[in-house]
């Protein structure tokens, strides 16, 4: 069979292609601005030892003041300029100062680093090390014009130049952030807490949602009310339900602890959210309770789409309820369960607010996302926080590839 090369597109097809790309342009720009650019910025910062104070490059700061307080014509005074490096560690090169001497002040002495042309003062101060401070003093005599004009020295605009290298935009990269991250004694504890919370929280939410869907897949009076109650954990504000859980399980005034002590289950109250290993278990249980309604809705919708004749035929053949579930319902639900597992795993892995509200990351409940917050904002180490974010991205990327390559086999995904 001979091969015929494809014909070139006609004018109409080319116009349609251009129109299609034009309609897709807003979506493409949105993806670039919302996803790709921030992701590239995180990767860029992760290879730089940047703290919060490094986001603004080092620059020269100046304050001008008149010392001596002249009260009448002929009084001597000192025009003083205090220059400092805004950074405590980064140097500044090429620092210069330029100012116009206020009218009514006659210059009598000039700092050796400065030159005076008429009323224009120009000073060359060279390089400033981190935290360096310099003082320039210009001797002046106040004339009557100075008092008549009621001139303030600070009314003049002092121009100071000289900026340090911006560590955020230069091309110097380092692996110190990742070395600091992996050498940390708490890193593997954070990894364990993240995997425990993510794996058991995801599986628990799916299993709870599955059982809830099985219970509501039959008709009975009050079914709509119970379905609405099932949705409460998911739709309620997270700060409200988290505060309610903390109050219920409080070791001093919580109802749960009081009930356990009165029933003789425990001798002393348990600090559920402040004691290992209860804290990690409790935040995982909270994750399951709060997010099982999402799984419940998807699973119930899929179960109600199954043809009832299949179940009727199985009942006529004498199949038990467990056999019906295991051999009929579960294989049909595998597609939606696999999708829910992927989504819930990613969302739970990235979850921050629940743990932060319940424990603040204490008692070995600090996950990778909480670690990002602590490194970037609590410790002000933006580079280390970005490095943790890169670790999260790489882990989820490999998990997604592994999931689609080996685990997902349903519905053509």
Do 74 and 111 have their domain in common?
Answer: yes
Per-residue pLDDT tens digits for 12-53 = 788 888 888 888 888 888 877 888 888 898 999 999 888 877
Cβ–Cβ under 8 Å, residues 222 and 230: no
Judge residue 168's burial from the number of C-beta atoms within 10 Å of its C-beta, 0-12 exposed, 13-18 middle, 19 or more buried: middle
What is the pTM (predicted TM-score) of this model? 0.78
Burial class (CB in 10 A: 0-12, 13-18, 19+), 375: buried
What is the mean pLDDT of the segment spanning 63-80?
86
d(CA 89, CA 95): 16
Residue 58 has pLDDT above 50, yes or no: yes
* pLDDT, tens only, 343-397: 999 999 999 999 999 998 888 999 999 999 998 888 888 999 999 999 999 999 9
Q: Is residue 52 part of a domain?
A: no
At residue 150, does pLDDT exceed 60?
yes
Tell me the C-alpha to C-alpha distance, in Å, between residue 168 and each of 37, 54, 376, 383. 15, 8, 15, 10
Q: What is the CATH number for 73? A: 2.60.40.290
pLDDT single digits (tens) 276-333: 889 999 999 999 999 999 999 999 988 888 887 888 888 887 888 888 888 888 888 8
Q: What's the rounded Cα separation, in Å, for the pair 113 and 126?
A: 9
Which secondary structure element, helix H or strand E, spans residue 317, and what is its range? Answer: none
pLDDT band at 241 (very low <50, low <70, confident <90, very high): very high
The answer to whether residues 218 and 365 belong to one domain is: yes
Mean pLDDT highest for which of 169-178, 317-326, 336-345? 336-345
| Residue 413 pLDDT > 50 | no
Averaged pLDDT, 197-222: 90
My answer on whether 193 and 92 are in the same domain is: no
Helix (H) or strand (E) holding 39: helix 37-46
Domains in the chain, number: 2
Structural domain span for residue 360: 177-407
Answer with the one of 135, 161, 187 that is the final residue of a domain.
161
């Amino acid at each position: 069979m001979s091969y015929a090369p494809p014909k070139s597109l006609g004018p109409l097809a080319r116009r349609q292609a251009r129109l299609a790309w034009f309609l897709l342009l807003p979506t493409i720009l949105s993806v670039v601005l919302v996803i790709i650019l921030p992701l590239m910025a995180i990767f860029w910062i992760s290879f730089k030892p940047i703290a919060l104070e490094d986001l603004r490059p080092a620059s020269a700061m100046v304050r001008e003041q008149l010392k001596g307080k002249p009260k009448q014509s002929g009084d001597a005074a000192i025009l003083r300029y205090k220059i400092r490096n805004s950074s405590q560690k980064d140097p500044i090169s090429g620092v210069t100062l330029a100012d116009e001497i206020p009218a009514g002040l006659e210059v009598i002495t000039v700092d050796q680093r400065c030159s005076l042309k008429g009323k224009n003062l120009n000073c060359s101060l060279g390089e400033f090390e981190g935290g360096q401070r310099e003082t320039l003093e210009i001797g002046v005599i106040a004339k009557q014009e100075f008092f008549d004009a009621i001139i303030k020295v600070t009314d003049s605009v002092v121009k100071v130049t000289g900026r340090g290298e911006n560590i955020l935009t230069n091309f110097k990269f380092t692996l110190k952030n990742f070395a600091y991250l992996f050498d940390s004694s708490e890193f593997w504890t954070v990894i364990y807490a993240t995997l425990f919370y993510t794996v058991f929280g995801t599986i628990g939410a799916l299993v709870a949602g599955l059982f809830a869907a099985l219970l509501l897949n039959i008709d009975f009076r009050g079914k709509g009310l119970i379905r609405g109650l099932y949705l409460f954990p998911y739709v309620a504000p997270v700060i409200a339900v988290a505060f309610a859980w903390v109050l219920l399980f409080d070791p001093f005034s919580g109802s749960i602890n009081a009930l356990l002590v009165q029933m003789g289950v425990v001798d002393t109250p348990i600090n559920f959210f402040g004691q290992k290993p209860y804290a990690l278990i409790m935040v995982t249980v909270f994750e399951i309770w709060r997010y099982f309604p999402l799984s419940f809705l998807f699973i119930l919708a899929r179960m109600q789409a199954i043809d009832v004749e299949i179940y009727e035929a199985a009942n006529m053949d004498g199949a038990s309820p467990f056999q019906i579930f295991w051999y009929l319902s579960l294989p049909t639900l595998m597609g939606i369960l696999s999708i829910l597992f992927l989504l819930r795993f990613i969302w739970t892995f990235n979850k921050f607010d629940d743990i932060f509200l319940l424990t603040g990351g204490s008692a070995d409940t600090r996950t990778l996302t909480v670690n990002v917050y602590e490194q970037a904002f609590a410790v002000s180490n933006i580079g280390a926080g970005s490095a943790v974010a890169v670790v999260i991205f790489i882990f989820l990327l490999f998990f997604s590839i592994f999931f689609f390559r080996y685990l997902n086999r349903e519905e053509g995904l």
